[in-house]
Structures are given as C-alpha cells and as structure tokens.
Structure 1
Amino acid sequence: MADSLVADRTYDASGLLCPLPVLRANRMLRELAPGQTLKVLATDPAAEADFPAYCRQTGHTLVGTGREGAVLVFLIRKKDA
C-alpha cells in the first residue's frame, strides 16, 4: 500500500520522536498549496496515533497510511484555504 502513496512533497522524519514528526510536518504543510499532499515517513510508534489526531484537529485529510518495512508512511492532503 505504501508504494501507491504518491505525494507532491516528502518529509523523512525517521529517527525523530514525538512531537517532532508532527511539528515538522506541520511546518512543511504550511509551504504547500491547498489540496497538495505531503508524504511523511516516521519511525516513532507514537506517530500512528499522532498523525490521525493532528489531521482531525487541523482539518487536513489523512489520505492514506502504510508501512515500508519498519517505517510508517502517512499521506496528508492540505485543507482548502
């Protein structure tokens, strides 16, 4: 499934611990246009709960999730303006 997650931009947060993956992904999403997507790679197990919660709170859409080995993959679509 992770291979099918295509994004406008990718952020590799591997090795970072909570809350850094979400905080840095948030910064990158601010640079994207509404409707564009960000693929986030993370190794922190807390990210499995953090990114869905982040999307619910901010209005961004969690398009998909997956795994590439031990790496968690999240595809987030930036909300409309």
Structure 2
Amino acid sequence: MSELRISKTLDVRGMYCPGPVLETAKAIKQINVGEVLEVLATDPAAKPDIEAWARRTGNQILDIKQDNGVTRILIKRVK
C-alpha cells in the first residue's frame, strides 16, 4: 500500500463505546473531502462500530490494522 497522507490523527485509546465512534464522527468533519483520518483505538468494539458508522455515513475505510491491542483505522472522507 502506498504511503497515504494522513490529514488528522484521532487518538481514542483508552476510550470505550460509544466514545470512539462519536469522536470519529466529529473528527471527520474537521478534514476536507478526500482527506484521510487515522483513528487509534483500544476498544475492541471500535472496529465494528466504526465500520458500521462508515457504511451509514458513506465514508470509506481504507485500512484496518490491529497490533498489540491497538486498532488503527484509516478513513477517507467521501462527502
């Protein structure tokens, strides 16, 4: 995967549902359409929650990696 330019990083490690999704929804509005938001979360529910949120809002999940209990999600703002 080519190196993506990340416009904003949202660190919600240590925060639990529904915090990560609410913060993601707020943060995506702070970047421009076409830019990429990186979310770092430790809540196991963050991955399915943010995937569902992205489908619902029409934003695009580019990548999800899980490493040492931290989930890193890259989301492209589509609209």
Alignment TM-score, normalising by the size of structure 2: 0.90
- Cα RMSD over matched residues? 1.6
Higher RCO structure (Cα 8 Å, ≥6 apart): 1
Is the CA contact (8 Å cut-off) linking 1:5 and 1:75 kept in structure 2?
no
- Please name the residue that 2:6 is paired with: 7
What is the CA–CA distance in structure 1 between the aligned matches of 2:39 and 2:56, rounded to whole Å? 17
Determine if contact 1:63/1:76 at 8 Å carries over to the other structure.
yes
1:6–1:39 CA contact under 8 A, matched in 2: no
Query: Which structure is higher in helix share?
Result: 1
- Structure 1 residue aligned with 2:62: 63
> Given the alignment of the two structures, is residue 79 of structure 1 paired with residue 74 of structure 2, yes or no?
no
Give the alignment's TM-score, normalised by structure 1. Answer: 0.88
Report how many residues are paired: 78
Moved segments of 4+, more than 3 Å: none
Structure 2, unaligned stretches of length 5 or more?
Answer: none
Q: Give, in angstroms, the shift of residue 5 of structure 1.
A: 6.1
